[in-house]
Amino acid sequence: MATGPRYSVPYKRKRENKTNYAKRLSAVKSTSPRLVVRKTNLRILAQIVKFEEKGDKTLVSASNINLKEYGIEKAPKNLVTSYLVGYLIGKLALKNKIKEAVFDIGLNINTQGNRMFAVLAGAVKSGLKIPHDEKIFPSKERLEGKHIKGFDAKIIEKVMSNIDSKVKA
């Protein structure tokens, strides 16, 4: 490792590949809130985050665990629940008078049709305005759960109507 008076150590989050500061700066300069989507081993997290000088402020948050309130008893981390999390975060954002956002998946790999883009598809379906290209969404069959053996697509409609009735914009 280089030493000397002219060497500067990069930020810790940059060294650990946790933050891409060039992308973050461009997102912060946009001044619109960001739809931040993260995945863990057990959850899909979606948040509407706004930049402030003291630090980012979370305005609205939802995860697949929150779907239990709307009719899904087991909320696995799959494509269908990701879509419903996106729909829920979109409705919550509209309730809080947030009409548009910028999509932020962080350092996750952006493969066409993955769970991150299922969240985006749900948020767009709910009425939230987010710049996107329709080609990145998963297929309609996958969003409806037709690829899951024994899955009833009526559950999605039931959960979406529960979200609509409980979260009024």
pLDDT value of position 96 = 93
Contact 19, 11 (CB under 8 A): yes
Strand pairing report for 57-63 and 34-39: unpaired
In the block, residue with structure tokens 């008078």: 97
pLDDT below 70 — which residues of the chain?
A: 1-2, 169
Q: Which domains are delineated in the chain?
A: 15-166 (3.30.420.100)
With the C-alpha atoms ordered 102, 106, 112, 117, is the resulting torsion angle positive or negative? negative
Yes or no: say if 62 and 80 are a contact pair by the CB < 8 Å rule. no
Which helix (H) or strand (E) is 58 found in, with range?
Answer: strand 57-63
pLDDT 10s digits, 42-90: 899 999 999 888 888 999 999 999 999 988 878 787 889 999 999 999 9
Strand arrangement, sheet containing 44-50: 57-63, 44-50, 34-39, 102-104
**CA 82, CA 89: separation in Å to the nearest integer?**
11
Residues 120 and 46: their CA atoms lie apart, in Å, by 10
